A and B are shown apart, each in its own frame.
Chain A
Amino acid sequence: MFTGQKHLLKRYDLTALTAIITIILMTVIMAGCAKNQASKEDQQLVVAVSSDVGIDKLDAGGYNGLIQAYTMIYDPLVDYGERGKIIPSLAESWEISSDGKTYTFHLRKGVKFSDGTPFDADVAKFSIERWCKDPANSSLSVSKAMQAIDVVDPYTLKLTFSKKYYPFLTELTYPRPVRIISPTAVEPKGDIKGKFIKPIGTGAWMVESYTKDQQAVLVRNPNYWGVKPKLAKIVLKVIPDPQSRAMALQSGEVDLAGSEIGAVPTQSITDIRKEGKLQIYTQPGTMSYLLIFNYNNDLLKDLNVRKAINMAIDKQSMVDNLLGGIGRPARGLFQPTVPYVTASNNKGYAYDQAAAKELLKDSGYADSNGDGILEKNGKPLEFSLVLQNAQYPEWKPMCEYIQGQLKGVGIKLDLQMLDQNAYYDVLWRNRKFDLIIYRTYTDSWNPHGFLFSLFHTAGQGSGTPSVAWSDPALDNAIDEVLGTMDENERQVQYDHIFDMMYQQAMCAPLYYTDEVFVASTKVKGFAWGFSSYSPVKWEDLTISQ
């Protein structure tokens, strides 16, 4: 019916073909351009980070931007050393008064900020006053309890607090908001209410350039007081997707990725290990995963039930089969990398389903209707388990595994997967859970910060019920240790707290995380930092051609 069709056809075949060929041609030409661009980046280390570095709002006294960038640019008065040992930084030494309320810091002399501004006690005071007493920082005792900041002489600073509290120094090591910023970083200059303009610190690195959502380039700070970094430049490249970070490593566009700064997925690490073309560095982290029990649940008030849940889970098999052999099965709540955790006080319940069944039997549970689930007074032993998988994707398979394991001893779990916000609502506010999977804080927040915030009845502020446990005896023990200034005494008190937690099976610790970094073979001199806020000793790194 359309007579010219054949004729038409030939012409348009040609047009279409030409178009397709053009696309392919263009593609190849452009690929060539892309390759040429890569070669000049050899003199620097490229690190993949998961979120925008936020240099334009990286105020030392604020909370915006990439947390690990703070520790590169800003120094604290005192720093967090191996397993929480307090080490000198901008303060060379310090004394604590006998009542534990006054801290005198002797500041390092001759220190200059990256823009040349000299550092002294007045500058330190300015910096501290910027965040101190802000209600948003009420969770920091160092802010809430600060009574006076006195400049004794140009290199002596005295801080006076309203109470005795051993973690003051630990809080001063935090990546933010306590680190020291130059008075020239705000406008008007030196005004504590001044507006932040640019990040100027005394740290080993300073900002060379920044492109929002893309990258930040840090270069050596020529005025740095410590050991100068070997690398001239570190490029922090934003790659939000974990899978893409792994592939950027594999394609050679990125030299280093991992840890909290830009985690690489477990599955990719397994593949990378098999391929053997990249270096993998692993060390125990400071975070644990745990199941929190709702202390208001009548069935969970029974110690035997809590113990049985602890015993019913084969944590070793969970690590081997679900988590690719990365990390370790948990014993006590905290990893041995956490301060005050020792081989003798880190106790947990070993996997023993028979013993778990025995405990439940002792508490009067029996399977009266033959459905595989235990009952007492006609009430089944059944709990909800709340989880989310946006932040910790491995929680889903872990919880499903736990569901199967608990079924083995006659406990039924109903998994409730929530979106991230709904999950946190349940955890912090409405407490609509029987069991909920959560993780401990990390680094300098352990053990005191996590214990107080979740296991102390005042942890969430007055009037808000505590999250994980509610017991005056534990409250007292935590209060006591927080006010003890003697290291050895504190150890004894922590031993006691960890023992109470074990005896009462206050939670079910599941898993100890690992920190993993993947690096190209060009990267040399890799050494772990002392916390995930400064995960790598950046100054030791070099890169070979």
Chain B
Amino acid sequence: MGRYIFRRLLNLIPVLLGISLIDFGVMSFVSGDPAEIMLSASGIQPTVEAVTAVRHALGLDEPLYLQYCHWLWNVLHLNLGISFRSSLPVAAELMQRLPATLELTLCALCITLLIGVPLGILAALHRDTLIDHACSMLSLAGASMPAFWLALLLIYYLSVRLRLFPSMGMGGIGHLLLPAFTLGFGLSSAYIRLLRASILETMQKQFIVAAQAKGMTARAIMLRHVLKNAMLPVVTLLGMNFGHLLGGSAIVETVFSWPGIGKFMVDAIYSKDYPVIQGYVLMVAVFFVLANLLVDLFYALLDPRIKLR
């Protein structure tokens, strides 16, 4: 087990190297000069002199491969560099915003499960009835509704009209619910469908018949046999969503003025803040790999047939 985890973590190194290289290459093709963007964004007229000075200060006057090598050298020394825009260390900038995103992610995933799991079970048990169709409709709506639209709708009715929730910002749990629901509702649609299909499939299995023949109660069968098996694909999806959400959701964060990492990232991309983009990509890659690793470990826990080696 320990060796397995170690090997998986070792795999991170080529993954991160490859990703950062691709990312660096792609960014260099995108139009816009970071020095110039930085100057204009600060309200400074980007004269040739000013741009040259800033390019030099940021090390952008070096050839691209050298810039990458420098960056890599620093990363090997656990230094993600300094943000072009804020002149603050990238690691600090990311870490400052990560807790907000983490909070939102966890709450959103809870809401996803709270909606997705009961409705998935309900739909499966009431297969092809009105309830099933209603769940289908709901999941279709959740999947096709743009997040910003749902967000504005929620703010308009629940904050502006009814004044039940604050419309923006981070604070008490009241601030958290609307953005988390916006994210969670959209995601839950996949879980409803997935769990429904998965439960129906498991119910056909021989071991369920065996369990019934054994005289187990329906409740015990559902909890111990059906759900446990049906949850496997859900856990996979959860892992993927977790990694994805930790990357931040620019739209939901912007609409709700949530001080997370998504909005910060979009701004960094617009201003070609290379060090921040690179640092972010590395961070998200690590999240994805770790989330997948967790999923695999959890698999082994749920399904004794799976052995990790």
Contact = CB atoms under 8 A, between A and B. Distances in A.
A280 interface: no
Given A19-B114, A424-B36, A425-B31, A8 B208 contact: no
A116 B202 CA distance: 75
B43 A244 contact: no
Nearest to A22: B114
Given A138-B53, A424-B40, A244 B256 contact: yes
Nearest to B253: A240
A12 B117 CA distance: 11
A379 interface: no
Contacts of B119: 16
A31 interface: yes
A428 B36 contact: yes
A248 B45 contact: no
B304 interface: no
Contacts of A211: 259
B147 interface: no
B185 to A, nearest CB: 11
Contacts of B221: 4, 8
A462 B166 CA distance: 53
B174 A251 contact: no
A7 B212 CA distance: 12
A240 B88 contact: no
B89 to A, nearest CB: 12
Contacts of B256: 244
Contacts of A137: 44, 50
A253 B48 contact: no
B86 to A, nearest CB: 6
B30 A421 contact: yes
Contact of B32 (A213, A252, A422): A422
Contacts of B47: 138-139, 460-461
B130 interface: no
Interface stretch (A32-40, A118-126, A346-354, A358-366): A32-40
A34 B31 contact: no
B6 interface: no
A449 interface: yes
Nearest to A461: B48
B164 A8 contact: no
Interface stretch (B61-69, B121-129, B275-283, B293-301): B121-129
Nearest to B117: A19
Given A5-B125, A12-B125, A64-B42, A460 B165 contact: no
B50, B88, B168, most chain A CB atoms within 10 A: B168
Contact of A4 (B42, B122, B218): B218
B102 to A, nearest CB: 15
Contacts of B255: 241, 243-244
Contacts of A453: 45
A212, A214, A241, A461, most chain B CB atoms within 10 A: A241
Contact of B126 (A9, A135, A241, A251): A9
B265 to A, nearest CB: 12
Contacts of B36: 424, 428
Instruction: Summarize A's interface: helix, strand, loop or mixed.
Output: helix
Contacts of B40: 424
Given A16-B118, A31-B174, A253 B126 contact: no
A139 B87 contact: no
Nearest to B152: A243
B85, B163, B208, most chain A CB atoms within 10 A: B163
Nearest to A51: B267
Interface string A41-69: 00000000000001011000001100100
A15, A176, A211, most chain B CB atoms within 10 A: A15
A337 interface: no
A425 B42 CA distance: 17
Given A38-B166, A63-B43, A136-B44, A27 B177 contact: yes
B24 interface: no
B168 A253 contact: yes
Contact of A19 (B44, B118, B166, B254): B118
Given A8-B218, A12-B122, A250 B160 contact: yes
Contact of B222 (A12, A22, A460): A12
Nearest to B158: A31
Contacts of B208: 2
B164 A31 contact: yes
A139 B45 contact: yes
B233 interface: no
Interface in A10-36: 11-13, 15-17, 19-20, 22-23, 27-28, 30-31, 33-35
Interface in A132-149: 134-139
Contact of A460 (B48, B156, B203): B48
Instruction: Summarize B's interface: helix, strand, loop or mixed.
Output: helix
A421 B155 contact: no
Nearest to B96: A212
Contacts of B42: 63-64
Interface in A146-186: 176
Interface in A310-359: none
A425 B30 CA distance: 11
Contact of A251 (B39, B53, B160): B160
B175 interface: yes
B264 interface: yes
B122 A13 contact: yes
A97 interface: no
Contacts of B117: 19
A251 B160 CA distance: 4
A13 B218 contact: no
Contact of A420 (B48, B169, B270): B270
Contact of B259 (A19, A23, A214, A460): A214
A16 B122 contact: yes
Given A12-B121, A19-B114, A64 B87 contact: yes
Interface in B32-80: 32-33, 36-37, 39-40, 42-50, 52-54, 57
Nearest to B34: A421
B126 A3 contact: no
Contacts of A2: 203, 208, 212
Given A16-B122, A241-B257, A251-B159, A464 B168 contact: no
Nearest to B251: A241
Contacts of B37: 421, 424
B167 A244 contact: yes
B171 A240 contact: no
B31 A23 contact: no
Contacts of A19: 114, 117-118
A34 B219 contact: no
Contacts of B118: 15-17, 19-20
A463 interface: yes
Interface in B173-223: 173-175, 177, 203-204, 208, 212, 218-219, 221-222
Nearest to B40: A424
Given A27-B177, A31-B174, A63 B44 contact: yes
Given A135-B49, A138-B50, A37 B171 contact: yes
Contacts of B218: 4, 7-8, 11
A390 B169 CA distance: 23
Contacts of B173: 30, 33-34
Contact of B174 (A4, A30, A54): A30
Nearest to B111: A23
Given A8-B218, A15-B121, 7 more contacts: A30-B173, A31-B165, A37-B171, A64-B85, A213-B263, A425-B32, A449-B45
What 3 A-B pairs have minimum CB-CB distances, sorted nearest first? A34-B174, A421-B32, A63-B42
7 contacts: A12-B122, A16-B118, A34-B173, A138-B47, A138-B49, A247-B156, A421-B272
